[in-house]
Amino acid sequence: MEKFTTLTGVGAALKLINIDTDMIIPKQFLKTIKRTGLGKSLFFEMRFDDDGNEIETFILNQPAWREAKILITGENFGCGSSREHAPWALLDFGIRCVIAESFADIFYNNCFKNGILPIKLPKEDIEKLMDDADRGSNATITIDLESQVITGPDGGSISFEIDSFRKHCLLNALDDIGLTMQRKEKIDGFEANQRISEPWLYS
């Protein structure tokens, strides 16, 4: 997992609500257990027609937003079935931050475990950021996780809240495995003692 400290990039405004995980990454792409290669199938049914051609009107197919790193959207993002492939697809496409009015709980938690920062903001702040994003590739947005501030292309700023533990994990690139490995010495010590007291477990 890559550290998340400060992110500067283009924001893409996806002006929809209730975007579910099947819209993010359709079920036919869930056969893989690899975290890479899913970006090309992100929002597949909105990005491509039945013949596999790009739908020009979809935001991420338009030249100004093809390299978007930030997605700005409406309420209840990531609802539907629980699939970790959804944040995998976003991350593989290059999106490191999703800003929405609200998120489905499982998707929200999965974002943190995969190095994506999900930010909840009120509707008026979302609308302001969408206006900024609509200006295209010259209007970059900066997200500073340490100070918990979003800075728009005109210098205006918006503060956001985040759980302190999740913030710590993103800043230090700690997923569940990373958190466990911080206790490696204690784990090794326990196993060493157990090998003496209960050697049959290791035979």
- Whether 66 maps to a domain, the answer reads yes
Residue pair 43/60 in contact (Cβ under 8 Å)? The answer is: yes
Has residue 158 been placed in a domain?
yes
- Say if 202 falls within a structural domain: no
Task: Estimate the crossing angle of helix 105-113 against helix 85-93, to 10 degrees.
Answer: 50
Residue with tokens 């893409």: 12
pLDDT tens sequence for the chain (203 residues): 899 999 999 999 999 999 999 999 999 999 888 888 999 999 999 999 999 999 999 999 999 999 999 999 999 999 998 889 999 999 999 999 999 999 999 999 999 999 999 999 999 999 999 999 999 988 899 999 999 999 999 999 999 999 999 999 999 999 777 767 767 787 777 877 888 888 888 87
The answer to whether residues 122 and 101 touch, using CB atoms and an 8 Å cutoff, is yes
In-domain check, residue 184: no
Residue 161 belongs to what domain range? 6-172
The CATH number linked to 25 is 3.20.19.10
- Look at residue 186 and tell me if it is in a domain: no
Structural domains of the chain, count: 1
Instruction: Look at the block and give the residue holding tokens 């500073």.
Output: 144
With respect to residue 179, please indicate whether it lies within any of the assigned structural domains. Answer: no
Decide if 42 is inside a domain. yes
Q: Does residue 189 lie in a domain region?
A: no
